[in-house]
Amino acid sequence: MNIKTDGIITLAYILLNEPADPNLKCPLEISDIVNFVEAEAGEDVMYFASSAQDRGDTEIVSADANGELTYAKIPLKTTTTLSFSGLQSGLETVLLNEIVNSKDVSALASKKAGIIRSMNQIEMKNILALCLAVASQEVNKTTGMDLLDTIVLLKQKISKFSSDYILLVADDVANAIDTYDIDNKSSYNYRLGIQESIKALGINKIVRIVGEDGSGNPILADGKAILVGRNSEIAQNGKPLTLARRKFTKEVAEYSGAEDGASRLVSIASVPLVHGHELGYAVYGYESVVQVLTQYRCVSFCDDIIA
């Protein structure tokens, strides 16, 4: 069978760019704390520093695709344009056999899922880095304080500006919460267990952050806890973080075999490569993204809450 290179790449584009789950466009772990926006092609994403903040200016922190943070002061009643940056996944290899044998697309589906997962992890790591970016929002655990005492301080740090809290924790912190009542049963003086006490503080959800980035580092390092208030008068739509992706033009989406209005594409190198003894193509995911913390006063964190 003689298949032209252009035809192979076109087929791979079509198979890899099947629509993702439309109900899960934002990484699940951070979906409750970010304003997720899909901007039209060529459209800017604006931020307006509202006078409701009752400050002379407001500080925002943005992360580019590589996780580099940029701080900026925005005068009140001023609109600023948030900058998009290109975010790319790591390279994967799709073998010629996986493309041509399109009746069994499980291998391609696995590659696509891995690419999407890696892009989600990059977005998640950058959003969490923004939450940890403002030193004044750190709560320190001192001698005599336990896990619950520190969670109370996290809430008090941001209670003036927000309510309806989400607690994001590293895996070891989640384990410590799970075993807290048992570990402290001999000296426990509270009327409620820790889960009930956390809920009584207005913390309506605990999110365990697991997984590693492309370098093998945990997305949220051991011991860390982040509290985010969602119902805020000074934050856009009540949430202090924004994650925006820009849709591709209709022409680019069609050329790539993606759905109309797609904000993520899987790109394929036009030159084949040899993978072992088999011919294949390098593929990677790409998107244009804004990641910004617009209201740091609605976020608090502790670097080592179980020390």
Which pLDDT score, from 0 to 100, does residue 96 have? 73
Task: Give the containing element (helix H, strand E) for 244.
Answer: strand 241-246
Count of C-beta atoms within a 10 Å radius of residue 161: 19
Number of structural domains the chain divides into:
1
Which pLDDT score, from 0 to 100, does residue 176 have? 95
Q: Report the C-alpha gap between 68 and 85 in whole angstroms.
A: 11
Q: Report the C-alpha gap between 278 and 107 in whole angstroms.
A: 15
Q: Report the C-alpha gap between 274 and 257 in whole angstroms.
A: 25
The answer as to whether 73 is a domain residue is yes
The answer as to whether 163 is a domain residue is yes
The answer as to whether 102 is a domain residue is yes
- Average pLDDT by consecutive 10-residue portion of the chain (307 residues)? 48 56 78 92 76 62 87 78 87 74 62 83 94 95 91 96 94 95 73 87 96 84 96 78 89 70 77 70 85 92 93
The answer as to whether 307 is a domain residue is no
The answer as to whether 85 is a domain residue is yes
Do the strands 225-229 and 299-302 form a parallel or antiparallel pair, or are they unpaired?
A: antiparallel
Cα dihedral angle (245, 211, 62, 57), rounded to 10 degrees? 120
Range of the structural domain that residue 244 is part of: 5-302
DSSP 8-state assignment for residue 296: G
The answer as to whether 110 is a domain residue is yes
Extract the tokens encoding 198.
């956390």
The answer as to whether 151 is a domain residue is yes
Q: Give the predicted TM-score (pTM) of the model.
A: 0.85
What is the total residue count of the chain? 307
CATH for 109: 3.90.1690
The answer as to whether 272 is a domain residue is yes
Q: Which residues pair with 208 in a beta bridge?
A: 169
Q: Report the C-alpha gap between 265 and 119 in whole angstroms.
A: 11
Give yes or no for a contact between 102 and 11, defined as CB atoms under 8 angstroms apart.
yes
